[in-house]
Amino acid sequence: MTSSKRRLIHIVAFDVPYPADYGGVIDIFYKIKAIYDEGFDIKLHIYYYGRKHSKSELRKYCSEVNYYPRKIYKNPFVGFKPYIVNSRNSDALLKNLQKDNAPILFEGLHCTYYLNDPSLSNRFKLVRTHNIEHHYYKHLENSEFRYFKKYFFRIEAEKLKKYEAILKHADKIAAISPNDFKYFNEKFGKTLYVPAFHTNTNTVNPGKKGNYILYHGNLSVPENYTAAIELIKNVLSKIKTPSIIAGNNPPKELILLCNKFDNISLKSNLSTNKIHTLIKEAHINVLYTNQNTGIKLKLLNALYLGKFSIVNPLMVDGSGLEDMCIISYNFEDMIKSINEFMHKDYDNDYYIKRKKILEEKFNNQNSIKYLINHIKFPGYQENNDAKSNEIRSTKRLLTFVFQLFT
């Protein structure tokens, strides 16, 4: 049960955050844990659309867990709002938010349907931005080869660019990467840089040697399966080193492509623990992207758990992770780096340097303390001010008494 002394915060999530098995929900779930560990009462509100409810795990950290079905429209182009926003609205959610005056954390632009609702005008409202969404959807358009989806992503990107102005109604914006912080702060001000929350509590020394290369990611996402296809065609098929592509729900095109090459194997729909084992045991984690919005949690996992990470510039641009990676500027450069580092041991010097940077800059509890310090809780500041005034009055009284008797 929740103590009445615990300060309350509402969190509105765009998807069920447990199991924490893909980027966005990983950030949400481990943020929830970090807030709970700081002694807060959490009322969690979740839009669901396919993932199973997970009340038992989430109730360990939240006094309430409320589910609201995400709306499905036959015509995804209906309305002026972006589909990812328009499909996440619920009268029941608004009524639940109106029951008290606690601050509200909206996870992603997706959940901001009620950000400017007049009934919440006196509330402290914080938006966690997971990407610059119109940039992200533009990249999805560029990665997609099916006409209807490509058109949908294009229209959604245009709507998101216009809709983004809703963020002026937020009291604070919590950007997930330095690049995103710069973008949102220049447009709206009132922006904080709060690094991604993640599963890792400590860096792992993974040993000196592995015998394969790994690319991992959610392979149902166009950005990831397109990256995997490009890596196979331009890098992994041109070397002899054993290579693994790992992730959930790979498309048929990717499955057929992997089957063409003896040195490339595909491992799909693995548990988080099995993915982490693959990361630890690989000699090189190779990571590639065509867009630099947000932060890639798969890169953080590779750095916390793995040995060498070879990346392209967009994977680390403005992330603060550049010094821990081997950056390759084109596919030929990536092949050279793979051939060089497959013959190097991952020694203790690499590990110590990485451990220092990660534990200073990407510590969940440090990040949540910073975030909480920028949230206004009703009555809390007033109580603090009253206590401060009481202390000052007591000091003045003691000084006066002291002066009387000296």
Query: Can you give the three-state secondary structure of 32-87, one letter per residue?
Result: HHHHHHCCCEEEEEEEECCCCCCHHHHCCCCCEEEEEECCCCCCCCCCCCCHHHHC
Determine how many CB atoms are found less than 10 A away from the CB of residue 140: 21
Report CA torsion sign: 259, 261, 262, 264: negative
pLDDT at 202: 84
pLDDT at 403: 46
With tokens 């000296």, the residue in question is: 406
Tokens of 395: 């000091």
- Distance between CA 303 and CA 273 in Å, rounded? 16
- Distance between CA 259 and CA 338 in Å, rounded? 22
Q: What architecture (CATH level 2) is domain 8-198+363-380? A: 3-Layer(aba) Sandwich (3.40)
> Whole-model pTM?
0.85
Contact (Cβ atoms closer than 8 angstroms) between residue 27 and residue 301? no
pLDDT at 3: 46
With tokens 């050279």, the residue in question is: 336
pLDDT at 208: 93
Q: What architecture (CATH level 2) is domain 213-361? A: 3-Layer(aba) Sandwich (3.40)
pLDDT at 146: 85
What is the 8-class DSSP label of residue 7?
P
Numbered ranges of CATH 3.40.50.2000 in the chain: 8-198+363-380, 213-361
pLDDT at 272: 87
pLDDT at 386: 45
- Distance between CA 105 and CA 368 in Å, rounded? 13
pLDDT at 381: 53
Report CA torsion sign: 197, 198, 200, 203: negative
**Cα 303 to the center of its chain, rounded Å:** 16
Cβ-Cβ contacts under 8 Å for 404 (sequence gap 6 or more): none
What is the 8-class DSSP label of residue 104?
E
- Distance between CA 327 and CA 287 in Å, rounded? 10
Decide: residue 174, CB within 10 A, 0-12 exposed, 13-18 middle, 19+ buried: buried
Give the total residue count for the chain.
406
Looking at the DSSP bridge assignments, the partners of residue 193 are: 175
**pLDDT tens, residue order, the chain (406 aa):** 444 568 999 999 999 999 988 888 999 999 999 999 999 999 999 999 988 888 789 999 999 999 999 998 888 888 899 999 999 999 999 999 999 999 999 999 999 999 999 999 999 999 999 999 999 999 889 878 889 999 999 999 999 999 999 999 999 999 999 999 999 999 999 999 999 999 998 888 999 999 999 999 989 888 899 999 999 999 999 999 999 999 999 999 999 999 999 999 999 999 989 999 999 999 999 999 988 767 778 899 999 999 999 999 999 987 888 999 999 999 999 999 999 999 999 999 999 999 999 988 899 999 999 999 999 998 765 444 444 455 554 455 444 434 444 4
